[in-house]
Amino acid sequence: MDSDHPDFSRVIEICRSYDASLLVDVAHDLGVLGPMGRGVLHEPGVSGKPTFVIGSFSKTFGCIGGFFASNSRAASYYVRGFSGAYTFSNYLVPPQIAAVRSAVKIVSSPQGDSLRSHVLSLSTLMRTTLASLGIKVLGRPSPIVLPFIGPEKLARKAYRYCLQNGVILNSVEFPACRKAEARFRLQITPRHSHEDVVFASNVIADSVSSAAAD
Ligand SMILES: Cc1ncc(COP(=O)(O)O)c(C=O)c1O
């Protein structure tokens, strides 16, 4: 919800010193951030590995489902045996697995590199456009862009104006973030264009101004 991440090398080091396990959810970075889309954990300077990694197929991979991975065979067996969602649900069906496999192929191909760089350039463009229009944007460039709004009332009104003016977005407020720190959440995809991003930024800025003037 803040488009940020901790200093993983440091967190891993602290876990080691306390003999603690570390679970990292890579739902929002696997496939879209870091070298070859391998995520923040593979960015230069990040050393060490978390004990467990979980991820979702519902973002980059365009499907439902997800995964749990660990170097520990015991942990993998434990999760298989005691995870209710795993034991009492059905497996992914072949078309879903085919979709995820195709997405993985794209992610690790030169096409993946160009899709990622397009998304990141749009994200940077949206962040700078919003900033130039007086809207603070949280976190760091990623497919998720978070214009900060603040008071919930302002966010709700501005959200309505955005919808009325052709921009569908998610409005996030407490308890998903702190009170009076409402923000919008937009997700950029490779299908978006420069024009889309500039259009949405202008609608958001105008909507916030109109909501504040109400
Ligand atoms: C960090 C994170 N993990 C996991 C999920 C859940 O993904 P899903 O239930 O769609 O697989 C989400 C959904 O937005 C998420 O933001």
> Residues 58, 64: contact at Cβ < 8 Å?
yes
Mutational pocket test of ligand 1: of 30, 57, 59, the residue with most ligand atoms within 8 Å of the beta carbon: 59
Mean pLDDT, rounded, for 92-119:
96
Residue that wins the pLDDT comparison between 111 and 89: 111
Give the range among 79-88, 106-115, 120-129 with minimum mean pLDDT: 79-88
Mean pLDDT, rounded, for 8-14:
94
Is pLDDT above 90 for 209? yes
Q: How far is the CA of 25 from the centre of ligand 1 (A)?
A: 9
Mean pLDDT, rounded, for 65-88:
90
What residue's CA is closest to ligand 1, atom 6?
A: 56
Six-digit token string for 23: 């679970």
Distance of CA 36 to the CA centre of its chain: 17
> Cβ(66) to ligand 1 under 6 A?
yes
* Nearest atom within ligand 1 for CA of residue 64: 11
Residues 6 or more apart whose CB falls under 8 angstroms from that of 183 comprise: 1, 138, 146, 147, 148, 149, 155, 171, 172, 177
The pLDDT-based confidence of 196 (bands split at 50, 70, 90) is very high
What residue's CA is closest to ligand 1, atom 11?
A: 56
What residue's CA is closest to ligand 1, atom 13?
A: 27
Nearest C-alpha neighbor of 185 from the set 167, 209, 207: 167
> Residues 98, 65: contact at Cβ < 8 Å?
no
Beta bridge partners of 145: 186
Local structure of residue 137 (DSSP, 8 states): B
Mutational pocket test of ligand 1: of 30, 58, 96, 177, the residue with most ligand atoms within 8 Å of the beta carbon: 58
Q: How far is the CA of 56 from the centre of ligand 1 (A)?
A: 6
Mean pLDDT, rounded, for 127-150:
97
> Cβ(25) to ligand 1 under 6 A?
yes
> How confident is the prediction for the chain on average, in pLDDT?
95
Render 75-128 in DSSP notation, one character per residue: HHHHHHHH-HHHHTSPPPPHHHHHHHHHHHHHHTSHHHHHHHHHHHHHHHHHHH
Give the range among 39-43, 134-138, 155-159 with minimum mean pLDDT: 39-43
The two most distant CA atoms of the chain are separated, in Å, by 59
Is pLDDT above 90 for 89? no
Q: What is the pLDDT of residue 129?
A: 98
> Cβ(28) to ligand 1 under 6 A?
yes
